[in-house]
Amino acid sequence: MRRRLLTLTAAVTVICWLINAKRLFTLLFSEYLYKKDFVQFYLMGHALRAGENMYAPLAELAARFDPSVDKWLLISAYPPIVALIGLPLSYLPYFWSVIAWMVFELGCLVAAVILIVRHFGGRSAGTAVFVTVAAYLGCQPIYMDLYLGQVMIPILLLLTLTWLALKSEKDFLAGVLLGIVIAIKLYAWPIALFLLIKGRWRAPVAAVAVFIAANGLMTLLVGTSTILDYYFRVGGAVLAEYIHDPFNFSAWSVGFRYAGIAGGGVAVLTLLSFALALALRSKDFDTGFMVMLAASTILQPISWIHYVVTLLPAFCFIANRREFRVSDLTLSWVLILLIVPGFHHVAHSYPALASWPPLLFILGLMWLIVPKPTREASEISCLAAETT
């Protein structure tokens, strides 16, 4: 039965990948090639080479370096250090730089999957882990990240390495990796806060040091005014542009839409408190880390559905659990229904609903990560007795 289930799951995953690969290949030869988030750090790399302002309107940078890429965003939303990612890519024509970045992302995805599966037993990992990985690889957020040329798949690899380093008590290395993540995306800071509260201060201190060093390096390369411009003008302008976007499901944005700044602040503090309460009451480190990993997706000023790609360690952590209460299994099915790609299309017709499915998905996921005490043996579904 195990072999048949894995064969069926692998077949479905391959079909999904073939469909997505065809879509990605088709898009390479359409106008959508030039409507990618990748445009931002590609032009930032050009600006860094030429000594231009990286945060000039993208249309101006496109007119200076590549007129074909002036059809997307108004201004780059990425922190200054991302220009170093775009620097080597800027030496390539835009088409080939897109290909190069996609190949790099796929390499990061393969590496992350291998590391995670190996941690949960490799070939001896439970059937549920393999099924989870297969379902993950065929999911819409993976396609969205590759289509947009985003950075969340490389961040998945960095966060996976951070987790494994922390488990090996290599806190300094973990902090360096976490600092790189925060410098690239201002992402995963809730993990640093959790580590600080837990007394593992070397990791968050190293993360802060890396963040400061990254911005210090960029200050030397582009000047203080550009760095200050990003943190005091550009960040706020980008947030103002997307805070009312119905597909932005961050706690801050959802709260802001209902009650302004106060609503945004209350939403963030409430969800951060909820996440920390779950993480700190857990008996093992892995549970706390996974809760804060999930919380990181919504505790940003802006959150998009492709942020879910960073959650593969949490999904496999849940799947690796040997015992589930009936209520946990019920919640799992509810979460699957909330996050299925089809709802994204429905939400286009009902924008007011678009933010709630992914937000509720993350909240339910955090609750599901923490194992609950079982009171009756009949309430448990055991996954240990798998057929080999």
Give pLDDT tens digits for 99-112. 999 999 999 999 99
Encode pLDDT of 228-255 as tens digits: 999 999 999 999 999 999 889 999 999 9
Within a domain: 388: no
Query: Would you place residue 379 in the very low, low, confident or very high pLDDT band (cuts 50, 70, 90)?
Result: very low
Within a domain: 324: yes
Within a domain: 143: yes
Name the residue range of residue 81's domain: 2-382
Query: Nearest CA to 166 among 271, 293, 276, 81?
Result: 293
Query: Nearest CA to 200 among 177, 166, 234, 163?
Result: 166
Does residue 129 carry a pLDDT above 80?
Answer: yes
Query: Would you place residue 371 in the very low, low, confident or very high pLDDT band (cuts 50, 70, 90)?
Result: confident
Query: Would you place residue 352 in the very low, low, confident or very high pLDDT band (cuts 50, 70, 90)?
Result: confident
| Cα gap 45→146, rounded to integer Å | 20
The pTM assigned to this predicted structure is: 0.91
Domain count across the chain:
1
Within a domain: 90: yes
pLDDT of residue 99: 96
Query: Nearest CA to 231 among 80, 378, 91, 341?
Result: 80
Q: How many CB atoms lie within 10 A of CB 371?
A: 16
pLDDT of residue 342: 54
Within a domain: 387: no
CA distance to 60, 67, 68, 69, 90, per residue, from 93 (Å) = 18, 12, 11, 11, 7
Any alpha helices (H) in the chain, and if so which ranges? Answer: 2-27, 38-50, 58-65, 83-89, 94-119, 127-137, 140-148, 152-167, 171-185, 189-197, 202-222, 224-229, 235-242, 251-281, 285-296, 312-319, 326-339, 341-349, 356-369
| Cα gap 380→74, rounded to integer Å | 53
pLDDT of residue 69: 85
Residue 77 is given by DSSP the state: -
pLDDT of residue 74: 84
Do residues 175 and 205 make contact, with C-beta atoms less than 8 angstroms apart? yes
